[in-house]
Amino acid sequence: ELGVVIERKRAVEEMRKAEGKYRALVEESPNVLYLDKADEDSACVYISPQVETLLGYSPADFEKEPLLWHKIIDPRDYEIASRTIRETLEQGKADSEYRMIARDGRAVWVHDMSVLVNDAGGKTQLIQGFLVDITERKQAEAAERDQRILAEALRDTSETLGGSLDY
């Protein structure tokens, strides 16, 4: 009996250590990790605390309203986000980029990578994924695109003006 009690205590301690390592990994990552129900609604089951830094909503906000993400997807990108869920459910994984609207109203670009999580029997349980903030990259790409368009417009204008001065 004493051996069983000691073994049980050892197992509980190992489980606590593993959980601590997992929490440290999840909660110290700069990315937002999430677990959603594996269905079309994709209701939030868990979201890491980093969501508050990224979007201004706390994990408690998602706990109170598991479909909150539906409301904060930028309407211009809602179909992309919905397609991401469908792809995850149908193909086992998905990878996409779309905008979400932060609590303060700003658009935040995210790279969303998700996979299906199955139980030991192979039955689908959850969608697990993470969101990476790619707003700076998207802003830089947009600025570069705008500069290229402006340069082309100036070149075209110069050519037009130069041609009109010919006698």
Tens digits of per-residue pLDDT, 121-156?
Answer: 888 889 999 999 999 998 888 888 878 888 787 777
pLDDT digits (tens, 9 = 90+) for 52-101: 999 999 999 999 999 999 999 999 999 999 999 999 999 999 999 999 99
Q: Dmax of the chain from CA atoms?
A: 108
Sheet with 124-133, edge to edge strand ranges: 44-47, 32-37, 124-133, 107-118, 93-101
